[in-house]
Structure 1
C-alpha cells in the first residue's frame, strides 16, 4: 500500500530521458509553483512554531473557562474536510467577509491571493505543533523552574535556558510535520487561491492541472519532486526526534 504507488510513480518518471525530466521539473511555471509552495509553507510553519508553542503553553499552564472546548477545537483542522476549510477561509477573508471587510480598506487582499494560501496552510498545520509540544510541556517538571528562580534567574532566563531546550526538539518536529502537511495541501488551497501561474499556483494544483490536460509525464515528474521533498522532510523529522531523546530521562 505504501511502497508500490511510490515505486510506480518513480518508475514512470524514470521512463523519460534525463533531459526531459530536467526540462519538465525546471519549467518556469513549475519553478514558480515550487516557490509558492515551499516558501509559503516554510513561512506558515515558522509562524505556527511560535503560535503553536504559545497555544500549548496556555493550554497546559493556565486554567480558564471553556478550556476543554478550546483544547478540542485545536484538532478541528484534522477532522474538517479540507474543501470545507478552504470555503470557510475564502468566505471569512473575502472583501465582504467578517475579516476581509476590515482588511480591504487597508489594501490587504487575502482570498484569491498568495496571502490566502499562507492563511490556509497556517490553519491546517497549526495542530501539529500544538499536539507535538503539549505532551512534552506536560511532562516538564515545574521544580526545574522553581530551582532556577531560587538561584536568581528571571522568568525570561528560566524560559530561555531551562524550559526551551527540552521543548525545542518538539517544536522543530512540529514545524517539520506542519511544513510537510502544508506542502501537500490541496483541498483548501485550491478554493482560497486564484490558481494563476506566477501568482499563487501551488505544485499539487499544478499536478492536477497536468492530469486534466492528459500530461501524465509532466504530472509524474512534478509529483516526484514533491515526493523527494517529502522524504527529505521525513528524514529531518527523524533527526529531530533522535536529537530530542537527549532530554529523555
Structure 2
C-alpha cells in the first residue's frame, strides 16, 4: 500500500532580500526631520511672527511706499540679472565646451570665484570699478550712464554673483549633448539658427531654467555685494534685505518679519512657476 503525500497548493512567500542601503522608511524619516529643523520650522516661525499683525497690519506693513519700492527693486533686479546671466551664461558655457583656446582652464576656474569670494569684497571691488572715478565708471558717466549708487549697480552686482549658477548648470548638459544630432540637422539642410533653436535649445532648456532659478533665488536674498554699490538710498536703491536689517535695528521685529514673509511668498510663487515651466519643458 503506497502512501500519497499532498503538497500545499499555495505558493510559498518570496524571500525578503536585505538591501545594502537603508530603506525608504529610514531615509524618508531622516529627510523630514532634517528639512523640518533646517528649513520648515524657521520659515514657519517667520509666518507665525508675522501673523501677529493680522491681515490689516500685515498689509499696512508691506504696502508702504518704502517697502514696496524695496521689494520691487529686489525682485526686479534679481529677475533682470537672472535673464542676463541665462543668456551670457549659456554663451560662456558653449565656449568652454565646444572650443579649445589658450587660458581655457584659468577662465573656467575663474567662473567659480563668486562662489568663494566674500560678498563684501565683491561689492567693494564693483564699487571701485563703477564709481565716478573708477576704471570703468569714469568712461560711463560722461556718457550719462551712472552705475554705482543706482539700481543699475544692483543689477550689475547680482549679475556678478549669479553667473556661475547658470554656467555650472548648463555646462555638463552641453558636454553630454549628442553632436551627431547637430550634424544630422546640417545634412538635412537646417541652418545654424534652426539647429540652435530646434535641436540644441530643447536639450538644454531644463538645465537653463534651473540655472535661471538658482541665479534668481540667490539674487533676491543677496546682501553683502549689493549694499556697497547700491548706495542704499530709500525709494531709489534700497533693497528689501537691507530694509529688514534696518527694521531689526529699530526693534521693529513685526515689521521686519512682515517684509520677510512677503519676500518668502513672492519667491515661492515665482520659483513654483519656474519649476512648472521646467517640468513642461522636460515633457516637450
When normalised by structure 1's length, the TM-score is 0.95
Q: Measure the CA separation in 1 of the matches of 2:75 and 2:192.
A: 36
Q: CA deviation at 1:240?
A: 4.5
Q: CA deviation at 1:244?
A: 5.1
Partner of 2:222: 185
Matched residue of 2:215: which SS?
helix
Q: CA deviation at 1:15?
A: 1.2
- More displaced stretch, 217-226 vs 163-172: 163-172
Matched residue of 2:83: which SS?
helix
Mapped pair 1:175 → 2:212: yes
Q: State the Cα RMSD in Å.
A: 1.4
Partner of 2:48: 11
Considering only CA atoms, is the larger Rg found in Structure 1 or Structure 2? 2
Matched residue of 1:188: which SS?
helix
Matched residue of 1:214: which SS?
coil
Q: CA deviation at 1:17?
A: 1.8
Partner of 2:266: 229
Mapped pair 1:111 → 2:145: no
Task: Give per-residue Cα distances to partners, 1:19-46, cap 9 Å, x unaligned.
Answer: 1001001111111111111111111111
Partner of 1:72: 109
Residue 44 of structure 1, aligned match among 81, 86, 90: 81
Q: Could you say if the C-alpha distance between residues 71 and 240 of structure 1 is closer, same or farther in structure 2, counting changes exceeding 3 Å?
A: farther
Partner of 2:161: 124
CA contact (8 A) 1:86 1:187 kept: yes
Aligned length: 247
Q: Measure the CA separation in 2 of the matches of 1:104 and 1:28.
A: 29
**Structure 2, unaligned runs of 5 or more:** 1-37
Partner of 1:85: 122
Residue 139 of structure 1, aligned match among 150, 153, 176: 176
Task: Give per-residue Cα distances to partners, 1:55-89, cap 9 Å, x unaligned.
Answer: 00000000001101111111111111111110000
CA contact (8 A) 2:154 2:229 kept: yes
**Structure 1, unaligned runs of 5 or more:** none
Q: Measure the CA separation in 2 of the matches of 1:239 and 1:21.
A: 29
Q: Measure the CA separation in 1 of the matches of 2:186 and 2:204.
A: 19
CA contact (8 A) 1:177 1:237 kept: no
Partner of 2:276: 239
When normalised by structure 2's length, the TM-score is 0.84
Partner of 2:11: none
Partner of 2:247: 210
Q: CA deviation at 1:233?
A: 3.8
Task: Give per-residue Cα distances to partners, 1:192-248, cap 9 Å, x unaligned.
Answer: 11111111111111111111111111100000111112322442454345345447x
Partner of 1:151: 188
CA contact (8 A) 2:209 2:278 kept: no
Q: CA deviation at 1:104?
A: 1.9
Partner of 1:58: 95
Q: Measure the CA separation in 2 of the matches of 1:203 and 1:97.
A: 27
